[in-house]
Amino acid sequence: MTEPLGLLVMAYGTPSSLEEVLPYYTDIRRGRAPSPEQLADLTGRYQAIGGVSPLTEITRAQAEGIAKILNQDGGRPVRLYQGMKHTHPFIYEAVEQMYQDGIQDAVAIVLAPHFSHMSVGGYQRVARETAAKLGGPNIRYVNEWHLEPAFLDALTERVQAALDQCSDPAGAMVVFSAHSLPERILETDDPYVKQLHESGEIVAERLHLTNYMFAWQSAGRTGEPWLGPDILDVLHDLKQRGFKEVVSCSQGFVADHLEVLYDIDIEAQQVAKTLNLHLVRTKQMNDDAQFLQALANTVRTCAQED
Ligand code: FEC
């Protein structure tokens, strides 16, 4: 019987209750506990979206969906492992489990389309270091998948669907956004900004958009400068330029979670309302079949590379 290929699906992770927000936030801050004010602020954002984020269920559905496609495509069967950046099961725990299960070869994919050494690279470093320490498994990494054709198809459909909700689609501004990162990534050859532009440009070209732009969202609450413009500032600017309708496409995220449900659906919508702007958000990928097929394709390709 063919030995299964390990499939390591990595994602951000979210606290499963409000009590878990403190250890989660501390982990995000690399072991430094947040101040009481910072903790209260984050807890308040989770409360505003209903207490917990749906990210865990969505990640599970995405991971199981990819594994199901791969186990039905006639190729080498896969055994699924999920590894989270900031919650259990952590990435190192997933790699340890693969090792204990005797998995020899694996492919790892992060549920984020664009590569930054600070984001996707961080997930990979943990997996790589754990496997090196244990002496296995041999893991191949999908680095980025923002140009995967079926992903771009799904993204294009979503932008079109959001434009269809505008009273004057041709006059609306489409804002492509991703999670901001500290500006210091610009001092290295980090591909993050370039990749965000690449996927957005393709969608814009396919839809013959004349009004589109790039922005950043969800910047961290730290002292250093983060990539801008921030989407909230962009809304003010668009209002001043005479725009009445805006489509927000958070193309750097693939699930309904805090950064979308709070940062766009609550915070950005409040700003838009004050400015009397009609703001429509594109639907997230979640467990969309076409999207999961795109990810399964990248995993198969990666597994077959020399
Ligand atoms: O629904 C949820 O509960 C989790 C939503 C969530 C996702 C996510 C994705 C990304 N992040 C990225 C970078 C950073 C950097 C910092 C940072 C901080 C936070 C905090 C929360 C949070 N992130 Fe996140 N991120 C999510 C949630 N993120 C909560 C802490 C409070 C706050 O700042 O709002 C700053 C760390 C520091 O303080 O040093 C940097 C990037 C992504 C997209 C790629 C990926 O999914 O990995 C990049 C989902």
- Read out DSSP for the chain? -PPPEEEEEEE----SSGGGHHHHHHHHTTTPPPPHHHHHHHHHHHHHTTSS-THHHHHHHHHHHHHHHHHHSSSS-EEEEEEESSSSSBHHHHHHHHHHTT--EEEEEES-SS--TTTHHHHHHHHHHHHHHHT--EEEE----TT-HHHHHHHHHHHHHHHHTSSSGGGPEEEEEEE--BGGGGGTT--HHHHHHHHHHHHHHHTT-SSEEEEEE---SSSS-B-S-BHHHHHHHHHHTT--EEEEE-TT--S-SHHHHTIIIIIIHHHHHHHT-EEEEPPP-TT-HHHHHHHHHHHHHHHH--
* Residues 171, 137 within the same domain: no
Closest C-alpha residue for ligand 1 atom 16: 220
Task: CATH number of the domain at 24, please.
Answer: 3.40.50.1400
Contact assessment for residue 50 and residue 93, using Cβ atoms and an 8 Å cutoff: no
Q: Please state the rounded mean pLDDT for residues 27-55.
A: 97
Q: pLDDT tier at 2 (50, 70, 90 boundaries)? A: confident
Whether pTM > 0.95 for this model: the answer is: yes
* Residues 120, 242 within the same domain: no
* Residues 158, 275 within the same domain: yes
Closest C-alpha residue for ligand 1 atom 34: 220
CB neighbours of residue 57 within 10 Å: 15
Q: pLDDT tier at 305 (50, 70, 90 boundaries)? A: confident
Whether residue 223 is predicted with pLDDT greater than 90 in this model: the reply is no
The candidate with the shortest Cα–Cα distance to 85, out of 10, 22, 171, is: 10
Condensed to tens digits (0 to 9), the pLDDT of residues 148-205 reads 999 999 999 999 999 999 999 999 999 999 999 999 999 999 999 999 999 999 999 9
Q: Domain containing 177: what range? A: 149-281
Ligand-binding site membership of 221 (annotated)? no
* Residues 24, 138 within the same domain: yes
Ligand-binding site membership of 125 (annotated)? no
Whether residue 306 is predicted with pLDDT greater than 90 in this model: the reply is no
Ligand-binding site membership of 12 (annotated)? yes
Q: How far, in Å, from the CA of 126 to the mean position of ligand 1?
A: 17
The ligand 1 atom nearest the CA atom of 252:
43
Q: What is the pLDDT of residue 234?
A: 98
**Ligand 1 — pocket residues by CB below 6 A?**
12, 14, 25, 28-29, 42, 53, 55, 112, 119, 179, 181, 220-222, 252-253, 257-259
* Residues 185, 103 within the same domain: no
* Residues 13, 56 within the same domain: yes
* Residues 139, 154 within the same domain: no
In the three-class reduction of DSSP (H, G, I as helix; E, B as strand; rest coil), residue 15 is classed as coil
The number of domains in the chain is 2
* Residues 34, 138 within the same domain: yes
ipTM summary value: 0.96
